Structure 1
Amino acid sequence: MDLSTRAVDIVELMDDPDADDEALGRTYQRFGAVNAVVSRPGRLYRRDIRPRAASGRRVRVLDIGAGGGDLCRDLVRRLRRDGLQADITALDADERAVRWASAHDDGAGIRYRHAFSGDLVAEGDTYDVVLSNHVLHHLDAGALRTVLEDSRALAGPRGLISHHDIARSRLAYTAFAAGTWPLARNALAGSFIRVDGLLSIRRSYTPDELAAVVPSGWEVRSHLPARLELRWEAADGRP
């Protein structure tokens, strides 16, 4: 497998407008368990969400490209456990994702929007935290530029932007392939998780590649396991 460059021309199965609805639903359903291991949402919560929510006001969070909404639901659970409050918006341009996520809200009270980030900019929305998970690798150069510009517009005067994704590497590909292989015939059966996960890694940036294409003022950070974060923070850095 050639991982020397981004495989920008491949398309993930779940992005196919004719994708099987049942398989797509099973994929959304299993994202929570997969992302709990791969994305480590607890780190995002402890570092960026909880300190802002603990300031005594209701923090506003926007998840761009929220998919099945698993990250948003995870944040709500953690906030409620700690007695904190937030208004969380799950945004996705795919109506299928929004429909599934809203039907599986499970009392989280998340606001679901079928729209583009530019639509929220036009409405004058602002948020304390703008984030995404596994979105950057889906974007071509123009779409990436647009999402970053929109993110800056949507972050309030003390806002934080934190876009998370996979970091492409041979280790990431091999580890995901090996880790999901035993589950392919049971826990992940009938979903797109394994195939699309491997395609995602092939489409993803390395930290150096991402740093080379983003505007000044953005910081690229590397995290374990095989993660990258594209971050922008208001100058004073205070919640």
Structure 2
Amino acid sequence: MTPAIQTEDLAFSHLGSGLPALAEVALLTPEGAAIALLGPSGAGKTTLLTLLDGRLRGWHGRATVLGLALDPDRAPPLARRADTGFIFQEFALVERSTVLRNVLNGRLARMEFFRALLARPSPNDVTIARTALEDCGIADLAERRVDSLSGGQRQRVAIARCLAQEPRLILADEPVSNLDPVRAAEILSLLTRAARKRGATTVFSSHQPELARRFAERVIGMRNGRIVFDMATEDLSEDATVQLYQDAENPLSPLLQVVQ
């Protein structure tokens, strides 16, 4: 079986930065899995997700996503972009548009050119969008404007938009960081459940080990741009998560020696 994600020796540094945002990152991710990226702020989680989404330039190493080798100097081919969906931390919705119209935006890469250009979705596009709304529990909000919704409802719209894209890989950057613990658990539950229903691979980043344990099959710990552990969720100990967040600015802390 072709892995959903395979990387070797990924490295990247932001201009003017003395520290690498990514260093020697190697991943091998099976299709259909739910994976959590865990780590403190600045660990490299967002940078890694952006790279896997094909939006990062100037990185080094090798990365293959859904069987396509990524190029550090150019975006993936248009025909392949819809296969990877991205859920942003700040939702990235059209605030003055309706929920249904926002979700239909996720169909643009799947639409015929002139339908996308004229914003005229087919009946099939509308059916797929409404199914995504149902799976996210917001079918009754289809005609509401996004700027009238709560934070939790907006996140559901962002997830529905991604699902309507029919991606094979879903990348979610801190998808519940703005929500209270109860709402956060609800959102991750519906995201991973909907992805599993569609056979899609999910990679979400988080600061919360308890959510990673509940909703991921595998947890990858990152710090200072490096992977410091990669293990099945049931093997993740409390000590490993505590150490992950201790001395986060010290790249030579004992954690690297303990779990590698």
Q: What is the TM-score when the length of structure 1 is the normalising length? A: 0.35
Q: Which has the higher helix share?
A: 1
Higher relative CO (Cα under 8 Å, sequence separation at least 6) belongs to 2
The structure that has the greater radius of gyration is: 2
Structure-2-length-normalised TM-score: 0.33
